[in-house]
Amino acid sequence: MSIASRLNDFLGRVSRLVLGGGREALENQKRKGKLTVRERLATLLDDGSFLETDLFVEHSARDFGMDSKKLAGDGVVTGFGTIDERQVAVFAQDFSVAGGSLGRAHAFKITKIMDSAADKKIPLIGINDSGGARIQEGVDSLCGYGEIFYRNTQLSGVVPQISVILGPCAGGAVYSPALTDFVFVVDRISNMFITGPQVIRTVLGEEISPEDLGGARTQASITGNAHFFAASEPEAFDQLRKLLSFLPSSSCEAPPLTQSRPPRQPLDDEVIPEDRRRAYDVKTVIMGLVDDSDFLEVQALYARNIVVGFARMEGRPVGVIANQPRYLAGVLDVDASDKASRFIRFCDAFSIPLLTLVDTPGYLPGVNQEHSGVIRHGAKVLYAYSEATVPKLTVIMRKAYGGAYIAMCSRHLGANFVVAWPTAEIAVMGPEGAANIIFRKEIEESPDPDGTRLEKIREYEEKFANPYVAAAKGYIDSIREPSRTREALAMVLRGARNSERGILVRRHGNFPV
Amino acid sequence: MGPTLTGDTLPIDSTEYDTEVPRDRLKPFSGMPEKRDVRAFIPGTIVEVLVREGEKVSPGRVLLLLDAMKMHNEVCSEITGRVRQVLVARGDRVEKNQLLVGLEY
């Protein structure tokens, strides 16, 4: 064959393969309101940066008539590309090819690109859109899933792993995303569950729609399985690119530096309501402290009593953990503990300093909480903060009571710098509760119990509901006004020798809690 | 009786905080499960009843077999006592949480 005809043959093969399941199947995908696999990669990656690998891989299944079936790319597209000029490894399942089902060759392509991500120390992004295991390949497809899970675990804490759910992801397939660091879902497109509505109806008689059971909104707000919720696929990719801008490519690097920018809305000294019972939005405080008032919230719809996410201080990425008084008074509970501890461990694994903002009355009381294991879940927060070796900075804004004061990155758990505002109340419990216990006898025996109670509450408030008792003992490092807090935090961060951590290859994985 | 939750305040250590409280998250506790009432933990079909009324039972004693999830599941006593009442028979379809056997101490 002449070179020209060889080239023609090659181009013919490529043009057939890049059509995936063919024009009709791609049209079907579009009719469902979804982008095609190649549109997705084009939207996600920098223009023209995609370098595809393993386009020509074929399956070798023989049973159930598979020996005569050709599946383009075996239902998954893999390769490298750049996002803001930084390399990433990607795989994207192609629903137009045999429903994106996972067989041996499909999984082999994925594990190959995962191994490359490990070698090159670059983030791994997986786009999931698959009907599940390729039943015709039997136990081979289970082997495929298992080998992916194994690599997800080995890669955890080494490179950031991100999953985007853009279609069904059911049964065993859900566990690859669950092992990764961040899961993105899109309204009315994503669907995740272990057992679907039909099985649940048959076995338990419970009726529920796929959307209610495991749709994007459910995964983002009820289960906490998803970290980012988007209204459309392009929005999800925008969020993903923004997330990556805060992260190092691997645990061997420091997080990327950008230029320092002042907050757009600097903090007012009266940002906190005087009355400790009054709620406010802690995100106002976060925006008032960080560069450009730019905050990327993680798990925004889940366990809203704690807010976590990424921001920058003088161009340097930080992970923010803040109690949210606006929701459930900012208490710590089972879900908030899981949310915070997982985020803290991610930041620690990737050398991102922690900034903790405290205003919490304590733990949520209730039988349900106790029986759900709030002791074990709450312990995760203590463990995560104590274990973390990144710079840990804490701002006590208002209430810091009892066990929750300790848990929210107190100096006792190894915080490097704790600053309290003049409105801070660092105490074993709130004045009302404390007065009722300490002065119980005096209140009971008083001719005017209500008057005495109020008097004792005021007495306790004056003596203990302030930052000065803790400051006198050196448990906090500094007391300053909100408007002068950013400069102090920035100075401490500037002095932190975080870069020395870079020589460690892997501190630990990011165990899904 | 615990404090009433109005949906916009949350009492913690005698302080009422103004805050958003999701009603479904704070269901009142309705008591521990009654161990004398043996209920179906899953819907299914009774394969076999293995005890009679009046019979003595101890923890772990299999009371009946329930066919569900492709398994014959053993439904056991959790207490030492006696069978007061058997409410189902072989072949019965039962719903989740349906009372199957009543025990007494």
Residue pLDDT, tens place only, A25-81: 999 999 999 999 999 999 999 999 999 999 999 988 888 988 888 899 999 999 999
For residue A234, what pLDDT is reported? Answer: 98
Interface contact A205-B96, CB threshold 8 A: yes
Token pair, residue A154, equals 């080995």
| C-alpha A454, offset from chain centre | 44
Best of A194, A200, A204 to substitute, by most chain B Cβ atoms within 10 angstroms, is A204
Pick the catalytic residue: A171, A215, A378, A430? A171
d(CA A308, CA A385): 14
Closest-CA distance, A433 to chain B, in angstroms, reads 5
For residue B5, what pLDDT is reported? Answer: 45
Classify each residue of A444-465 as buried b or exposed e, where b means 16 or more C-beta atoms within 10 Å of its C-beta: eeeeeeeebbebbbeebbeebb
Whole-number Cα distances in Å, A264 to A182, A290, A291, A292: 28, 9, 8, 5
Interface contact A365-B12, CB threshold 8 A: yes
Find the angle CA(A310)-CA(A315)-CA(A321) to the nearest 5 degrees: 25
Q: Give yes or no for a contact between A291 and A264, defined as CB atoms under 8 angstroms apart.
A: no
Query: Which domains, and CATH codes, for chain B?
Result: 37-104 (2.40.50.100)
Residues A351-398 have pLDDT tens digits of 999 999 999 999 988 888 999 999 999 999 999 999 999 999 999 999
Query: Which domains, and CATH codes, for chain A?
Result: 3-246 (3.90.226.10), 282-429+465-495 (3.90.226.10), 431-464 (no CATH)
Residues A221-269 have pLDDT tens digits of 999 999 999 999 999 999 999 999 999 999 999 999 999 999 999 999 9
Closest-CA distance, B47 to chain A, in angstroms, reads 16
Percent of residues, chain A, with pLDDT higher than 90: 85
Tokens 């293995």 correspond to B50
Residue A329 is a catalytic residue: no
Residues from chain B that touch A429, judged by Cβ atoms under 8 A, are 13
Average pLDDT, chain B: 87
Taking CA atoms, what residue in A is nearest to B16?
Answer: A277
Secondary structure (3-state) at A339: helix
Length, in residues, of chain B: 105
Pick the catalytic residue: A138, A172, A196, A224? A172
Closest-CA distance, B103 to chain A, in angstroms, reads 25
| Side-chain half-sphere CA neighbours of A103 within 13 A | 25
**How many CB atoms are located within 10 Å of the residue A487 CB?**
11
Q: Is A102's pLDDT higher than 80?
A: yes
